[in-house]
Chain A
């Protein structure tokens, strides 16, 4: 009885890990096309570029984390000719309902080109309004040498009323992205 059940479970595990491996690449492509693609386009929409940022993506290494694993990040560059005019990369921050994944775009000087929310689990009607242009467009072409702050903390961005955790989550994701920008820029050039 136990042997039969164990064998069935084992076979199922084998088949599933095989399927997982076979479809891995294709699933990543789909994510790039349907989730990250539109976000990248939106954050870079103010820039003039003529390449395909997804096609030209590359990974940069940002040192190691506490356990000594290398931290890698995918950067999506926007180029005009051979000249890099802007770049976008993903960042995340803790919101009210979990991680908020944000695509953050920077121009050459390190100012924000734009911000787009990719995935989140915030409350519909409240925190989920971080997706709306009324919130995200405030970050377009914003100077962020010392990071971004919400207006309630003396900064320049208005948070969403009733959703300070979600607004702070987005801001912390952006600040994380701002923090690594010098490193990324160094790797790129």
Chain B
């Protein structure tokens, strides 16, 4: 049961960018289209799951004093692997995400989960935690990207979804649109939670 809990908490209760408000740099920067957000989310998920697994396995070997250094080495290695793989098999996306792939190293979610969860829990819960958080992050980024792409460009995953006379609101695919969109989503989520709390 607890494994399921660890997994599902990443999907709503502690969904990374909206609830923990962590990892905002890629959240704001790469969500200009749904596809970009999804690719970024999947890359981050891969790193998160792998680093959670490895750190959980090594948690009794790593001395407390150098744990952060050890975590960063583990995380950075996986990030470079993602970068190389992406360069090799998905070059156009590699060009779009550019600098933000190496920047996954400093994504607070990954180090945060390593420090707060994987370093204290056995393999299975850590795996569930990483997977849940990663999928939550991917969904958030895809959703944010989809909203911005629809309003700002009239398309979703590159396909036209709005009527042809729709005048794209191009500020939404630029930097201010990311803040506007994120703010509105955070507000709505808080509103929904307040309603739930009142009822409960």
Give A residues with C-beta under 8 Å from B: 1, 4-5, 8-9, 12, 15-16, 19-20, 23, 26-27, 30-31, 33-34
CB pair A4 B66 closer than 8 Å: yes
8 contacts between A and B (CB under 8 A): A5-B73, A8-B62, A8-B74, A12-B73, A15-B81, A23-B87, A30-B87, A31-B91
Interface residues of B in 61-109 (CB under 8 A from A): 61-63, 65-66, 69-70, 73-74, 76-77, 80-81, 84-85, 87-89, 91-92, 95
Q: What residues of A have a CB within 8 angstroms of the CB of B73 in the complex?
A: 5, 8-9, 12
Contact flag A27-B63 (CB < 8 Å), given A5-B69, A12-B73: no
Q: What residues of B have a CB within 8 angstroms of the CB of A4 in the complex?
A: 61-63, 66, 70
Give B residues with C-beta under 8 Å from A: 58, 61-63, 65-66, 69-70, 73-74, 76-77, 80-81, 84-85, 87-89, 91-92, 95
CB pair A26 B92 closer than 8 Å: no
Q: What residues of B have a CB within 8 angstroms of the CB of A33 in the complex?
A: 91
Using A1-B63, A27-B84, A34-B95 as known contacts, list a sample of 13 further A-B pairs with CB atoms less than 8 Å apart, ordered by residue number in A: A1-B66, A4-B66, A5-B69, A5-B73, A15-B77, A16-B81, A19-B81, A19-B85, A20-B84, A23-B88, A26-B89, A30-B91, A33-B91
User: Cα distance A40–B58 when bound, in Å?
Assistant: 49
Q: What residues of B have a CB within 8 angstroms of the CB of A23 in the complex?
A: 84-85, 87-88
Say how far B71's CB is from chain A's closest CB, in angstroms: 10
CB pair B70 A34 closer than 8 Å: no
Say how far B157's CB is from chain A's closest CB, in angstroms: 21
Contact with B84, one of A12, A19, A31, A34 (Cβ below 8 angstroms): A19
Q: Tell me the interface secondary structure of chain A in the complex.
A: helix
Pairs of residues from A and B, 7 with the lowest C-beta to C-beta distance, nearest first:
A23-B88, A26-B88, A12-B77, A30-B91, A1-B63, A27-B88, A23-B84
**Nearest chain-A residue to B61 (Cβ)?**
A4
Q: What residues of A have a CB within 8 angstroms of the CB of B81 in the complex?
A: 15-16, 19
Q: Tell me the interface secondary structure of chain B in the complex.
A: helix
Say how far B91's CB is from chain A's closest CB, in angstroms: 4
User: Cα distance A12–B85 when bound, in Å?
Assistant: 16
User: Cα distance A19–B65 when bound, in Å?
Assistant: 30
Say how far B74's CB is from chain A's closest CB, in angstroms: 7
CB pair B91 A8 closer than 8 Å: no
Say how far A79's CB is from chain B's closest CB, in angstroms: 27
Q: What residues of B have a CB within 8 angstroms of the CB of A15 in the complex?
A: 77, 81
**Nearest chain-A residue to B81 (Cβ)?**
A19
Say how far B27's CB is from chain A's closest CB, in angstroms: 25
User: Cα distance A37–B128 when bound, in Å?
Assistant: 43
Q: What residues of A have a CB within 8 angstroms of the CB of B63 in the complex?
A: 1, 4
Q: What residues of B have a CB within 8 angstroms of the CB of A1 in the complex?
A: 63, 65-66
Say how far B111's CB is from chain A's closest CB, in angstroms: 15
**Nearest chain-B residue to A11 (Cβ)?**
B77
Contact flag A16-B88 (CB < 8 Å), given A1-B66, A4-B63: no
User: Cα distance A9–B62 when bound, in Å?
Assistant: 12
Say how far A5's CB is from chain B's closest CB, in angstroms: 5
Q: What residues of B have a CB within 8 angstroms of the CB of A20 in the complex?
A: 84
Say how far B61's CB is from chain A's closest CB, in angstroms: 6
Q: What residues of B have a CB within 8 angstroms of the CB of A26 in the complex?
A: 88-89
Q: What residues of B have a CB within 8 angstroms of the CB of A12 in the complex?
A: 73-74, 76-77
Q: What residues of A have a CB within 8 angstroms of the CB of B91 in the complex?
A: 30-31, 33-34
Q: What residues of B have a CB within 8 angstroms of the CB of A19 in the complex?
A: 80-81, 84-85
